Amino acid sequence: MLVLVINCGSSSLKYTLFSHDQERGSGLVEKIGEAGARHTRWVNNARRTPRAVTVANHEQAIRLMMDGLVRDRLLASASDIDAVGHRVVHGGSQYTDATLIDRGVLNNPIGRELAPLHQAVYTGIEACLKMMPRTPQVAVFDTAFHQTMPPKAFTYALPYRYYREYKIRRYGFHGTSHKYVSLRAAELLRQPPRKINVITLHLGNGSSLAAVRQGRCVDTSMGLTPLAGVVMGTRCGDIDPAIIPYLMEREGLTPRQMDALLNKQSGILGVSGVSNDLREVIAQAEQGRARARLALEVFAYSIQKYIGAYHAVLGRTDALVFTAGIGEKSPYLRKMIVQGLPGLGVKLDAGKNRRTLSREGFIHAAGSRVKVLVIPTREEYMIARETRRVARAARR
């Protein structure tokens, strides 16, 4: 079964073609609607020379993608594709699982209003529906895995009518990643998911944690939007909400400017004044730059507090699972985070931590009460799996 996975960002299109579980080809169209757009393709993991392209919108990017797949002989035509899986950021509470795309998904107000930066996904879906009208199209939501959270975890203590009227509540994101690594952790621990409790740490430019009890998410750190939770590359994470009106008044900021300040100028970049890229911040901290060091400490501490809270919620934690850019590639931060958890009885094996880069592995020391794993996330693969499951069920 040939499944095409599509991930539309605000100015990019990423796609991967799977034949069953095997990745056959993939591509990236960058800077859509801007000068300097380019299209990079990979065929059976070999990278082709990127091509400069002119591409005004995501519909044109979808056409470029299809031309590329045919040119690379991965397909004879679009009709070879059995199903298309789209990553959709916000499904609201209506979508608790991947679903066949219909008008309801396309017009889902929460998806449209709460993820304004992610509207490109709808253009991408419409373009695919036009190009492949008979091929099942499946939406895989970043929020779906977290929809098992109980009301006490997702309700904000605001006047209740805002939940009723505007559906303001915690939703959580990176769900496909949390789901994949929690399932994979169970396999590596040789236990069925329903027998274990894990805390998953998706630490990338955007970061979130999830408490997963017996295979079901019971809490997660992001909220109504991906701004909440732990400190991130450029996002502030949790702050005192009173800071927002205070700063808006003091600095004469509009809501849009305030939103940009919290989302794009804060976090590790804001504190360090160096970069949102942890590699640069670590390098500066090692050279003795105090604010770079402080940014790392604020970042690690915000994560430690969530681990502590989720451990309390779970009652028993079998494993911590690190994933995404920082989680997979930074022994430095993994050590910093785990060392600050003395009450948990968790100990790292320094050598295993150092050697486990961008690959799966256990990194805890013998005698550690909680196991620690690194699992590279595979969101595209997971979207392909979900797409196949939903498309097959729809055929029956």
Task: State the amino acid at position 364 in one-letter form.
Answer: H
Contacting residue, 71, 194, 195, 279, with ligand AMP by CB under 6 A: 279
Query: Which of residues 118 and 329 has its CB atom nearest to ligand AMP in the complex?
Result: 329
Task: Please tell me the distance from the alpha carbon of residue 311 to that of residue 334, in angstroms, as a whole number.
Answer: 17
Number of H helices and number of E strands within the chain? 16, 15
Query: Could you confirm whether 142 is annotated as catalytic?
Result: yes
**In this chain, which of 123, 220, 272, 330 binds ligand AMP, going by CB under 6 A?**
330
Q: Per-residue x/- marks for ligand AMP, 228-247, CB under 6 A?
A: -----x--------------
d(CA 175, CA 181): 10
Q: Binder to ligand AMP among 23, 82, 126, 277 (CB under 6 A)?
A: 277
Q: Are strands 13-19 and 2-8 parallel, antiparallel or unpaired?
A: antiparallel
Task: Please pick, among 21, 80, 82, 142, the residue that the annotation labels catalytic.
Answer: 142
| Phi, then psi, of 42 in degrees rounded to 5 | -125, 130
Interatomic CA distance for residues 353 and 209, integer angstroms: 20
In sequence order, the β-bridge partners of residue 16 are 5, 26
Any contact of residue 204 with ligand AMP (CB under 6 A)? yes
Q: In terms of CB distance, is 123 or 208 closer to ligand AMP?
A: 208
Q: How far is CA 115 from CA 60, 135, 142, in A?
A: 22, 26, 11
State the nearest-atom distance from the C-beta of 112 to ligand AMP, in Å: 25
Closer residue to ligand AMP in complex, CB, 132/203: 203
Helix (H, G, I), strand (E, B) or coil at 22: strand
Near ligand AMP by CB under 6 A, which window of 25-33, 130-138, 212-220, 321-329?
321-329
Cα–Cα distance for residue pair 193/182, rounded to 1 Å: 8
Asked if 148 contacts 216 with a C-beta cutoff of 8 angstroms, the reply is yes
* Site size toward ligand AMP, by CB under 6 A: 11
CB 369 within 8 A of CB 346: yes
Looking at beta carbons only, is 68 or 206 nearer to ligand AMP? 206
Interface residue with ligand AMP, options 19, 94, 96, 205 (CB under 6 A): 205
**If binding is defined by CB under 6 A, does position 270 make contact with ligand AMP?**
no
Give the residue numbers annotated as catalytic, written as ranges.
142
What are the residues binding ligand AMP (CB under 6 A)? Answer: 204-205, 233, 277-279, 324-326, 329-330
